[in-house]
Amino acid sequence: MKRSLWLLCSTTLALASLASCESSKPATDVSASAGSTTPSAGRSSSNGESMESNGIRLTPFGDSPKFPEAQMQLRAPISGATLPSGDVAFDYQVTNFQLTKMSGGPHMAEMANSMKGQHIHNIVDNQPYTAHYDTRFTKAIPDGQHVVLSFLSRSYHESLKHRGAYDLRVINVGNTPAPATPIIDVKAPNLFYSRPKDTYSGADAKRIMLDFYLVNTTLEPGGNRVRATINGTEFMLDKWMPYQMEGLPAGENTVKLELVDASGTMIPGPYNSVTRTFTVAP
Ligand SMILES: [Cu+2]
């Protein structure tokens, strides 16, 4: 068995053979290349440099399946809508991206992965997201004005970051009069928190993904950046990428994210500073 696999691999030379043999593995890797249009040359090629401080290591990675054609549109509720109190009905149109499918790629097996596959992250007022595996669902939202960010997510919770894969809008629920100034400027640079969330245990706790969402800005050296303070240790992130966090202690961990400009000054925005906790099970 092992010998025949080796023979199969050795029949073709170069990196391409590695990719094809990998994709012939059962189960977890079946859809590894489904969403990427160009074969990956290797898992480290598009990854950034690690940063390490106080025993915490952060490594950006960019070699996930890309799904560049994936599109998500929110058909309801419409932007600026005033809706009755109670449950809000959401209706998305998703194209070139299959909800409930496993994303594959090199990171699916090494980080927390949803057994239910790809999904939508729905974030109201920068609260912890709810995950949705259908394009239609209802969600209880209190009366008042609210900010709704939605985006497509890989099965292991990494967001799709291209234009067309997200939606940001303001909605009004109930009879509360809308504030004179909307609670967010949807055209300004805005940061939203996505992962980590809840509790990580066993193998999932070895590498924990930090993933956040940016609207109307990106990050670059010498430009806007995200200051991530993890258990009191500061990291300056100058790439909008997911980051693997390693070396986190058991127990409660704290992540603070701030969207800052080139001089390190916070950029105004309702969610551009956020602090969240999550748990690493012993
Ligand atoms: Cu998710």
Residue 115 is assigned to a structural domain of this protein: yes
Residue 75 belongs to a domain: yes
Prediction pTM value: 0.84
| CA 164 – ligand 1 centroid, Å | 18
Q: Which two tokens stand for residue 149?
A: 């960010």
Neighbouring residues of 127: CB distance < 8 A, sequence distance ≥ 6: none
Q: What is the DSSP letter of 75?
A: E
Place 178 in a pLDDT band, splitting at 50, 70 and 90. confident
Closest of 152, 168, 27 to residue 96, by C-alpha: 152
In-domain check, residue 135: yes
Distance 131 CA to ligand 1 centre (A): 6
| Residue 248 Cα distances to 26, 37, 208, angstroms | 32, 35, 9
Q: How far does residue 98's CA lie from ligand 1's centre (Å)?
A: 14
CA of 194 to the centre of ligand 1 (A): 8
Cis peptide bond upstream of 196, omega within 30: yes
CA of 132 to the centre of ligand 1 (A): 8
147: in domain: yes
- Cα(46) to centroid(ligand 1), Å: 22
Expressed in angstroms and rounded, the spacing between residue 89 Cα and the centre of ligand 1 is 20
Tens-digit pLDDT profile for residues 63-104: 999 999 999 999 999 999 999 999 999 999 999 999 999 999
Cβ-based neighbours of 115, under 8 Å, separated by 6 or more: none
Residue 243 lies inside a defined structural domain of this protein: no
Ligand 1 geometric centre to CA of 101 (Å): 13
Whether 261 and 191 have beta carbons less than 8 Å apart is answered as no
Q: Region 132-136: what's the mean pLDDT? A: 98
Tell me if 107 is assigned to some domain: yes
Is 137 inside a domain boundary?
yes
The domain in which residue 103 lies consists of 71-173
Count of structural domains within the chain: 1
DSSP 109: G
pLDDT exceeds cutoff 50 at 262:
yes
Q: Is residue 91 part of a domain?
A: yes
Measured in angstroms, how far is the CA atom of residue 10 from the centroid of ligand 1?
38
Alpha carbon distance 282, 279 (integer Å)? 9
Q: What is the pLDDT of residues 21-32, one digit of tens each?
A: 333 333 333 333
How far apart are the CA of 51 and the centre of ligand 1, in A? 25
pLDDT over 70, % of the chain: 84
146-155 pLDDT, tens digit per residue, is 999 999 999 9
CA of 41 to the centre of ligand 1 (A): 26
Predicted confidence at residue 46, as pLDDT, reads 62
DSSP letter for each residue of 140-200: EE-SEEEEEEEEEE-TTSPBP-STTSEEEEEEEESSSPPPSS-SS-TTS-EEEEEES-SEE
CATH of the domain at 136: 2.60.40.10
Distance 175 CA to ligand 1 centre (A): 32
Q: Greater confidence, 53 or 28?
A: 53
pLDDT, tens digit, for every residue of 209-228?
A: 999 999 999 999 999 999 99
